[in-house]
Amino acid sequence: MALIDYTAKNRIGYITLNRPDKRNALNQEMVSELRNAFATAADDPEAKVVVLKANGDAFCAGADLAYLQQLQKFSYEENLEDSRNLKALYHQVYTLPKVVIAQVEGSAIAGGSGLVTVCDFAFAIPEAKFGYTEVRIGFIPAIVMAFLLRKIGEAKARELLLTGKLIVAAEACALGMVTQVVDRGNMEAAVTQFAANLVTGASGQSLAATKKMMAEVQDMGLSAALDQASMENAKARATDDCKRGIASFLEKKELKW
């Protein structure tokens, strides 16, 4: 059985975690399959927006503890290679040239919260729980930290990362980790509608360029960021999508991308 399922429908790609018997916990094989699925989605002309979801009662329980125990027998170099595999997954999702929406219908703990963190948007059922619990088992939330600090700021990130506490979806939404809290019965419709609005309401070129720029300018000083912004602004004006969008606006024609 495949650990990850990928399908595309109505210009939306769906990546589904499919290890429900292990609460979709992450091991090396699952991380590698996720990377392959996101690469497929990135190149799929039938998928303009990507939804990340899960089968079973949990979204993702984080790292497979049995696998972590196995890793304790690895050398530093072997563990570094494994860590870089997870780093590559998070960076891939964060910088994917397509919008990624997490559909969270169960708890997302540790590495599972990490997956939600690197998505562009997240919809969660009220009872879903989130937490970076690594410090509770003598581990550290090392890789996700770089992304969480960007997403919610240092003070809020410190509270979550250093206490390892669990929070419900409403609190995660208030912190900026979750976009919207939706009842389970309305979840699929809410995510599908949100994704469909992006599919028809925004240029794919513009979405990709905006995501890329947001990832880059945060590491720059103000002057360098503004220089980069000026160059990106100038390049965007010459794109086919920009020409098409401005022409439709001036001609007062409805535009669906």
Nearest-CA neighbor of 105 among 193, 182, 6, 197?
182
Task: Reply yes or no on whether 134 is catalytic.
Answer: yes
Q: Which two tokens stand for residue 105?
A: 């219908």
Q: pLDDT, tens digit, for every residue of 114-170? A: 999 999 999 999 999 999 999 999 999 999 999 999 999 999 999 999 999 999 999
Contacts of 256 (CB under 8 A, 6+ apart): 200, 201
Is-contact 257 240, C-beta < 8 A?
no
Considering the entire predicted model, what is its pTM? Answer: 0.94
Candidates 134, 154, 188, 232; catalytic one:
134
Pick from 61-65, 161-165, 204-208: least confident: 61-65
Provide the pLDDT for residue 72.
Answer: 84
Is-contact 166 109, C-beta < 8 A?
yes
CATH homologous superfamily of domain 4-199?
2-enoyl-CoA Hydratase; Chain A, domain 1 (3.90.226.10)
Provide the pLDDT for residue 129.
Answer: 98
pLDDT at 1 over 80: no
Domain ranges of the chain: 4-199, 202-250
Q: pLDDT, tens digit, for every residue of 208-219? A: 999 999 999 998
Q: pLDDT, tens digit, for every residue of 14-52? A: 999 999 999 999 999 999 999 999 999 999 999 999 999
